[in-house]
A and B are shown apart, each in its own frame.
Chain A
């Protein structure tokens, strides 16, 4: 079945460093959503990407959808403690019109 791989599983950064998580699929995706889950919290919607090559920005967050619509990335510039959490990509599954979820990338700020 359609699956998505999200890497890395964890990323430790110093505050102020950049962070990137990647989402890869073997099949072409219709669209993809990104969510953030704070420790102890629940996933919160960040953005949806639809178009090939689309780039969207939210302050220090930059979301990209690959030209072939098989991969996506989230880049955070100059991380802050408020960015801590797990970031999930959730592409759309054509077969049953449901989202499938990556395993998430946990952003950890080094003390």
Chain B
């Protein structure tokens, strides 16, 4: 089966610009997660979709971040306007069942490395 795919793999933008990241989960996976890792630090949870609904967005840093999952397939994460502290690697992951509750591991994409200058 095809894995989780993310686009773009790298993005370099200036402060104040807008960037949209895309994630295509594994087909049939209802659960989709966005995470961010700043260099050398822990992986931070951003939000969780179940199908097209936001199950939990408690990790979203502020209202400059907007995530959508129209139709319950692919998801986008938009950052507008970008700030310097938004730099990092943004990972998307999907799982068939609810991760952990059903012993359902997360399958990660390769991430988008975002650099805000």
Contacts and interface: CB of A to CB of B under 8 A. Distances in A.
Contacts of B106: 33, 35, 43, 45, 99
A42 B93 CA distance: 10
B103 A88 contact: no
Contacts of A58: none
A97 B35 CA distance: 15
A9 B56 CA distance: 29
Interface string A50-93: 10000000000000000000000000000000000000101010
B109 interface: yes
B2 interface: no
Interface of B: 35, 40-45, 48, 56, 58-59, 91, 93, 98-101, 103, 105-111
A31 B100 contact: yes
5 contacts: A42-B109, A43-B43, A45-B105, A97-B56, A104-B43
Interface of A: 6, 9, 30-31, 33, 35, 41-45, 48, 50, 88, 90, 92, 96-104
B91 A42 contact: yes
Contacts of B98: 97
A99 B99 contact: yes
B105 A100 contact: no
Given A33-B100, A48-B103, A97-B100, 12 more contacts: A30-B100, A31-B100, A33-B106, A42-B109, A45-B107, A48-B100, A97-B101, A98-B48, A98-B99, A99-B99, A99-B106, A101-B45
Nearest to B98: A97
Nearest to A42: B108
